[in-house]
Structure 1
Amino acid sequence: MHSSNLRLEEPIRMASILEPSKPNFFPAMTKIVGTLGPKSRTVEIISGCLNAGMSVARFDFSWGDTEFHQETLDNLKKAIKSMKKLCAVMLDTVGPELQVVNKSEHPISLQADTMVVLTPDQDKEASSNLLPINFHGLSKAVKKGDTIFIGQYLFTGNETTSVWLEVDEVKGEDVVCMIKNSATLSGQLYTFHVSQIHIDLPTLTDKDKEVIRTWGVRNSIDILSLSYTRHAEDIRHARDYLSKLDGLDQTQIFAKIENIEGLKHFDEILQEADGVILSRGTLGIDLPSEKVFLFQKAAIYKCNVAGKPVVVTRVVDSMADNLRPTRAEATDVANAVLDGCDAILLGAETLRGFYPVESISTVGRICSEAEKVFNQDLYFKKTSKHVGEEISHLESIASSAVRAAIVVKASVIICFTSSGRAARLIAKYRPTMPILSVVIPQLKTNQLRWTFTGAFEVQYLLCFSSCSWLPLPS
């Protein structure tokens, strides 16, 4: 091996691989984001997810109303209190998501090598040859030969519940497509995605703003996952909106990169965002399959050197229905950790899957094993080289602390912080031991009332690899 990100010694001792994994006092340093939904909304299940390693709970507003999500969040709060574990709350917006509307909710069977029409007339009944959609601009955005994907949950690889279409012709506002594989669509809504086209819809929709203004404010959300982020201006617009709402001025905004537009403007988006989510499912349609891993590695590297958390999605889809991931999925999780990701996001696995707790536990164990062979020395050198010689005083202290802790083989780095910035800078250099962040609250007043700061700072750190927490009583 001429160059490698692994710290494995050659030759590898197979006997050590067969030995049982040793339990750690601290769980995996890579964080796990779990999507809560129908199969993971009771206090019992959520408690199991927290105990298994979930540090961020994601609420996906692509489906379900605010009452449903509020009940789930109330159960999360009960679980947090009983388990005495912290968990950040992430609101995932819908954004300019394109959908097929099936008002009858009857299953729709689509047969390969037949035609189906996509129409913006939502008054029409969905059938095997006609699918109403929520977007009037599709006919102007596509051309003959374009690829369209439709499924209740995008890109699971299960071709019996999702369908590929190829645009054959455009007739007025209708788009006529050839069905490429037989499938049965079930449920009321299906998401559809068209490869590499511009969708002339706002990134933060009126529906998203209403959810944030009501549900988001009521629950003081820690993180806003901005779906379909395409430009830096999307982040600035969302931040301006949050700043005008009571209690959300400190909410962190994570840019969710899902299409070719977000990829093209990645550098400027990274400068504005507090973190990045690589939505590999949707990106897998916009990019050729052989290019997806290149984007993942490049994007993670850019986030690492910028010191901003990066989250990878779609890792163990098969665990929605099975107790064990595929070998390819297990390897994929490990490689994401070795690439330098801060967190793994689980979607269908915990949202509607039969094994939400087991999925989190399994991913956590894989992450822990990968962290043991992470080449921290190479990572430290690359990060330091990128920072250069003109280094700030605080970053100099952070990098020196990591290097010293590694040299003396420290068990933990304890960081006292009020803003969280020092802990984030230490995490940027990926020490081999956990960072225990002692967040010191600050007392502030607006002349009308006194408040303590610290909650947002603690919750944001729950997205960084290596960061653990220790609340200091106020």
Structure 2
Amino acid sequence: MRKTKIIATLGPATDDPKILTKLLQRVDVVRINLAHGSWGAKDKASHQKKIRMVRKISKKIKKPIAILVDLKGNKIRIGNFKNEAIELKKNSLITIRFTEEEISRHDKEIVVNADYVFDNVAVKDTILLDDGLIKLEVKKIQSKKRQLTCKVHEGGLLLRGKGLEVSNKIINQPGLNEGDKKDLKRLAKLDIDWVALSFVNQASDVNQAREVLSGLNSNTKLIAKIERVAAINQLYWIIKASDGIMVARGDLALECGPGELTGLQKNIIKQTVQGNKIVITATQMMESMIHNPTPTRAEMTDVSNAVLDGTDAVMLSAETAIGKYPIETVESMSEVCSGAELYEESVSKTDTYKFNELQKVDEAIAVSSINIARNMN
């Protein structure tokens, strides 16, 4: 029996009820990312319809499925295009216009509704799009028009709503914005189990979200996503304030650099385990399976190492949301997790639990049950 939980992100690839049923039979948690999709009543795949469908199928197959909802947070995102996406070709020029308009005027323009970013950009800065897959260099700044002219160094297909980062620059933003608060109010009325807070900087960001939920008589648990270097410096207090931690490696890697990411991941997992909170490892765990039916050896090793480090759950994002092989991806991940758990090095993290710090009776019973089962083989 696999101990490590698998979280699968829902999206267009899982909208078919038959596919969703197969997915729910294989996973433990589903994730709904509010950065994509809508609350619109006319939207056939709206957030609330997804939640209702999961609960309906979960009841039908007689399997409890937890629902995790990811808030948008303050991630800087590009606006919409006239079509679903635009193609950015290497060495071509592209304009980034900072405006409240939501749709670009043509295919050589990107709109961004984050005016404060413009004031932090300089010529020769590197702008990263879609978690760093696309790289631009700022060539010209037009202050009156509030726009940048950029040269494409690494191109590709750019979908609407993708993230934007200015490389090697920390742009301070509040942890919980008005949009997040509105979403929390909507979520408090729905049957969900977890809310993931994006771009948490400090414990007060978590406390603020908890106050909003408490005011709505909601006991929904909170996951703090660690994706900023600033959060690393406040990790102890963030862990204490949260119900769990997510190692969100995509944006974290953009801030800290690839050389530091592995060490940070291990440290975050270790500290979270010592703090008696659950920990999720996420981002590109089986990225190649968006297009391929089998994972790479590197992806197998990545998932295995996360399990051996003590992660409670591993998360799939685009692999199940828009990938060609959502079911095969979950099956591959499950097999890898089960294999990693066979090793003695993957002894359950209950050995490191501080029993005197367990605050709930059900937690103490669960941990004790695991120890009894292991000792009795």
Counterpart residue type for residue 137 of structure 1: Y
**Correspondent of 1:101 among 73, 79, 92:** 79
Q: Does 1:252 align with 2:225?
A: no
Deviation of 1:296 after TM superposition, in Å, equals: 0.6
State the distance in 2 between where 1:418 and 1:264 align.
28
Deviation, 1:339, is 0.9
Greater shift, 366-375 or 191-200, is seen at: 191-200
Range 309-318 or range 370-379, more displaced: 370-379
Q: Tell me, yes or no, if the aligned pair for 1:196 and 1:260 is still in contact at 8 Å.
A: no
Could you tell me which residue of structure 2 aligns to residue 206 of structure 1?
Answer: 178
Task: Give the Cα–Cα distance (whole angstroms) in 2 for the partners of residues 122 and 377 of structure 1.
Answer: 52
Scaled by the length of structure 1, what TM-score is found? 0.71
Counterparts of 1:312 and 1:369, CA distance in 2: 17
1:181 aligns with 2:154: yes
Distance 1:300 1:104, change over 3 A: same
Question: 1:283 corresponds to which residue?
Answer: 252
State how 1:268-417 maps to structure 2 within 5 Å. 268-314=237-283, 315-375=285-345, 383=352, 392=356
Match of 1:406 in 2: none
Partner residue, 1:422: 364
Distance in 2 separating the partners of 1:432 and 1:135? 54
2:163 alignment partner, SS class:
strand
**Structure 1, unaligned stretches of length 5 or more?**
1-25, 156-161, 396-416, 436-474
1:376/1:431 contact within 8 Å kept: no
Q: Distance in 1 between matches of 2:372 and 2:21?
A: 28
**SS of equivalent to 1:34:** strand
| Runs of 4+ with >6 A deviation | 377-381
Corresponding residue number in structure 1 for 2:57: 79
- Rounded to whole Å, the distance in 2 between the matches of 1:64 and 1:376 is 37
Distance (Å, rounded) in 2 between the aligned partners of 1:432 and 1:281: 38
Aligned amino acid, residue 76 of structure 2: L
> Alpha-carbon deviations, 1:370-395, whole Å to 9, x = none?
000042569677x37xx5xxx73x86
Q: Distance in 2 between matches of 1:110 and 1:346?
A: 27
Tell me the percent identity: 28
1:323–1:358 contact (8 Å) kept in structure 2: yes
Distance in 2 of aligned mates of 1:281 and 1:422: 34
User: How big is each residue's C-alpha offset from its partner over 1:198-231, in whole Å with a ceiling of 9 and x where there is no partner?
Assistant: 44543222222222212x1222321110011111
Structure 2 vs 1, CA of residues 225 and 196 (structure 1 numbering), >3 Å: closer, same or farther? farther
Give deviations 1:139-171, integer Å, cap 9, x for gaps: 2223344332213xx35xxxxxx4111334543
Query: What residue is the counterpart of 2:28 in the other structure?
Result: 55
Equivalent pair of 2:71/2:195 in contact (CA under 8 Å): yes
> Which of 108, 113, 119 is the aligned partner of 1:134?
113
Match of 1:37 in 2: 11
Instruction: Name the SS of the counterpart of 1:45 in structure 2.
Output: helix
- TM-score, with structure 2 as normaliser: 0.88
Residue 72 of structure 1 and its aligned partner are, at CA, apart by: 1.7
CA-to-aligned-CA distance 1:320-374 (integer Å, 9 cap, x gap): 2221111110111111101111100111111111222221121111000000004
Which of 122, 139, 143 aligns to 1:143? It is 122
Count of residues paired in the alignment: 366
Residue in structure 1 matched with residue 162 of structure 2 by the alignment: 190
Deviations 1:81-140 (A, max 9, x none): 111111111111001121222341264332323433322135473445432111101122
Paired with 1:431 and 1:372, the residues of 2 have a C-alpha distance of 16
2:68 is aligned to 90
Counterpart-to-counterpart distance in 1, 2:232 and 2:136: 24
Q: CA RMSD in A?
A: 2.7
In the other structure, the counterpart of 2:97 is 119
Distance in 1 of aligned mates of 2:374 and 2:107: 54
| Structure 2: distance between partners of 1:182 and 1:201 | 28
- 3-state SS of 1:225 partner: strand
User: Residue 420 of structure 1: CA displacement?
Assistant: 2.3
